[in-house]
Amino acid sequence: MTKVRVFTNILKANENIAQKNREIFNKNKVYTINLMSSPGSGKTSLLERTIDSLKNELRIAVIEGDLQTTKDAERIEKYNIPVTQINTDGACHLDANMVASVLDSYNFKEIDLFVIENVGNLVCPAGYDLGEEDRVVMVSIPEGDDKPIKYPLIFHNANVLIINKIDLLPYTNFNRLKVKEDALNINPNLKIFEISCQTGEGLENWFIWLKEQVSKKKR
Ligand SMILES: Nc1nc2c(ncn2[C@@H]2O[C@H](COP(=O)(O)OP(=O)(O)OP(=O)(O)O)[C@@H](O)[C@H]2O)c(=O)[nH]1
Ligand SMILES: [Mg+2]
């Protein structure tokens, strides 16, 4: 009983800080996404592809969440855009306070799209609002097609589902129709993209959608 109450209080405190983060993004008309998936689904690869294709059209900035290393931030730094690495020291998700603690290092007047790459995990990040506008959950073909039914909360709380590594479909028994059906049963409002960061297939639709979201935010 006590444990439940403590956890509820932690989430409430997180919610309050997330709201303050959101106010900063809204005030500056910055479109912000929280990108979540299992380890290795391709979050950083999608960021690399997105920055590479859109860096002349959108001013992009990134937070990289990771347990320990600065590897992902180093990958993003190569594009000469603002990036901060948050190391969670073993925690399996980012929280709103961790995000708040680095926001001072960004000039949001000069940012259109802010991407927060969460720690690779399909469970822990699901309950933690960071102040983002949209939550994007990614699954990839080698993980198997049972992820929505096994980890429903993250799909329930997301706005967007990205199915990555579709170049690997011919080598697996992954059923893309089943994944989409299961995910939509959990959350009928999910916007779905099927992509390959390797071949580039499907990425154009993602770019178009992202640009629309940014321009809606500016209105
Ligand atoms: N075949 C194939 N491999 C991919 C694709 N996208 C990413 N990968 C590979 O998958 C591996 C993991 O990609 P990352 O982008 O580092 O994944 P991540 O989700 O950022 O990983 P964490 O930050 O550790 O959670 C790398 O070896 C990528 O080259 C894809 O569309 N197809
Ligand atoms: Mg990564």
Do 177 and 59 form a contact (C-beta atoms < 8 A)? Answer: no
Residue 43: closest CA among 99, 121, 110, 97? 121
The amino acid present at 82, given as its one-letter code, is P
CA distances 130 to 5, 97, 212, 215, Å, are 21, 8, 22, 22
Any atom of ligand 1 within 6 Å of the Cβ of 118 = no
Any atom of ligand 1 within 6 Å of the Cβ of 196 = yes
CA distances 132 to 15, 94, 137, 149, 177, Å, are 11, 12, 13, 25, 29
Q: What is the pLDDT of residues 108-138, one digit of tens each?
A: 999 999 999 999 999 999 999 999 999 999 9
pLDDT bucket at 10, cuts 50 / 70 / 90 = confident
Mean pLDDT of the chain: 95
Do 139 and 161 form a contact (C-beta atoms < 8 A)? Answer: yes
pLDDT bucket at 82, cuts 50 / 70 / 90 = very high
Q: What is the pLDDT of residues 39-56, one digit of tens each?
A: 999 999 999 999 999 999
Residue 213: closest CA among 132, 143, 140? 132
Domain boundaries of the chain, sorted by first residue? 2-218
pLDDT at 3 over 90: no
Do 96 and 17 form a contact (C-beta atoms < 8 A)? Answer: yes
pLDDT bucket at 210, cuts 50 / 70 / 90 = very high
Residue range 170-187: average pLDDT?
98
List the residue whose alpha carbon is closest to atom 8 of ligand 1: 42
List the residue whose alpha carbon is closest to atom 27 of ligand 1: 40
User: Which of 41, 44, 45, 115 best tests ligand 1's pocket when mutated (most atoms within 8 Å of CB)?
Assistant: 45
CATH number of 2-218: 3.40.50.300
pLDDT at 1 over 60: no
Structure-token match 């699954």, residue found: 139
What residues contact 5, with CB distance under 8 A and at least 6 apart? none
- Calpha distance 153→169 (Å, rounded): 25
Residue range 161-182: average pLDDT?
98
How far, in Å, is the centroid of ligand 1 from the Cα of 28? 31
Neighbouring CB atoms inside 10 A of 11's CB total 15
Any atom of ligand 1 within 6 Å of the Cβ of 167 = yes
How far, in Å, is the centroid of ligand 2 from the Cα of 219? 31
Per-residue pLDDT at 62? 98
pLDDT at 4 over 60: no
Do 114 and 61 form a contact (C-beta atoms < 8 A)? Answer: yes
List the structure tokens of 95: 């929280």
List the residue whose alpha carbon is closest to atom 25 of ligand 1: 39
pLDDT at 91 over 80: yes
